[in-house]
Amino acid sequence: MNKEINSDQRPILGLTMGDPAGIGPEIVLKALSLPEIYDLCRPLVVGDLGVFRRELATLELDLKLNPVPGPGPALFTPGTVDLLDLANLAPAEHRYKEATAAQGRASFEYVAKVIELALAGEIQGTVTAPITKAAINAAGFHYAGHTEIYADLTKTRDYAMMLAEGGFRVVHVSTHVSLRQACDRVKKERVGRVIDLTAEALGRLGLEKPRIGVAGLNPHCGEGGLFGTEDQEEVAPAVEAARSKGLQVEGPIPADTVFSKMKGGMYDAVVVMYHDQGHIPTKLVGFVYDDKTGTWGAMAGVNVTLGLPIVRTSVDHGTAYGKAGEGRANPQSMIEAVKLAALLARGR
């Protein structure tokens, strides 16, 4: 074990199982099969014991499941997966590759439980496996995704999504809305708040004077108003306000060049205006598909919710129903999500 982090200093992280129909249970088990994870944190999984038993039977992993009522009696030792079993899914209701209301309800309840534990101070951070929006909505929980669930249950008004793949980081002004709505949400106040959240997060990651680039909304940042005025009227004033507070911020910068500049080391993060503007370049960097084998050679990247009173990271991919129950899911993003959550938890 790493001598720099003893057992008392390792943060306790709550890991959700995700949608039982997807690859969540598999990638959680694969991540926790690595002794290095226990050097960094004390993981407590929240899920369903029956589903994990079924999953473990298909995987060649030397792991034991240890049901516990909470973090108190957990062992937190390599080779043992400490599991808070909510027992909220009957065996007959577990069906791989299907978005069902029963599995949506169960996956929502795993998320609600880790949030409850974190708000109570029983754990120091949370990590979420992927859920299916259709399933949780079918169960009556009307949310666009994890980010909105966390914001609602923690009563957080100002929050933002950050995607991170190593030093390649993007933070979104808006996410799960239509492109038309996204344009309407580019306002000075919101852009400024996201810049602040970005600077705070980078500080917790150990960057004392982070450099932040801000992407423009329109092509060529509006070309002097020819292609829209949002960049001059909303984005630029937000950047200037941030600079007046001492932050190292530049923008608006054309989106067709700002990501290359960050990849080259000019920025520690880029604030983007809408969902795809940030997701596309990040997944281009972190996801590697091989058409010859039909597999993903890499699925890197972590989703972090900024502005919450608790730590939350997540994988940067979906439930991958096509692979569920087959033992061939790539756990890379989950491994990175756990490591980043441990770092953020120690930085609080």
* Long-range interactions of 73-78: CB distance < 8 A, separation 24+: 74/42, 74/44, 76/7, 76/10, 76/12, 76/38, 76/42, 76/43, 76/44, 77/38, 78/35, 78/37, 78/38
pLDDT tens, 220-229?
998 888 999 9
pLDDT tens, 12-50?
999 999 999 999 999 999 999 999 999 999 999 999 999
pLDDT tens, 152-174?
999 999 999 999 988 999 999 99
Rounded-to-integer distance, Cα 241 and Cα 50, Å: 53
This prediction's pTM: 0.87
B/e letters for 262-274, b = 16+ CB within 10 Å, e = fewer, are beeeebbbbbbbb
Rounded-to-integer distance, Cα 305 and Cα 198, Å: 10
CA 40 to the chain's CA centroid? 18
Burial of 293 (0-12, 13-18, 19+ CB in 10 A): exposed
Domains belonging to the chain, first-starting first, are: 12-156+308-347 (3.40.718.10), 160-282 (3.40.718.10)
Q: Which residues contact 204 (CB under 8 A, 6 or more apart)?
A: 344, 347, 348
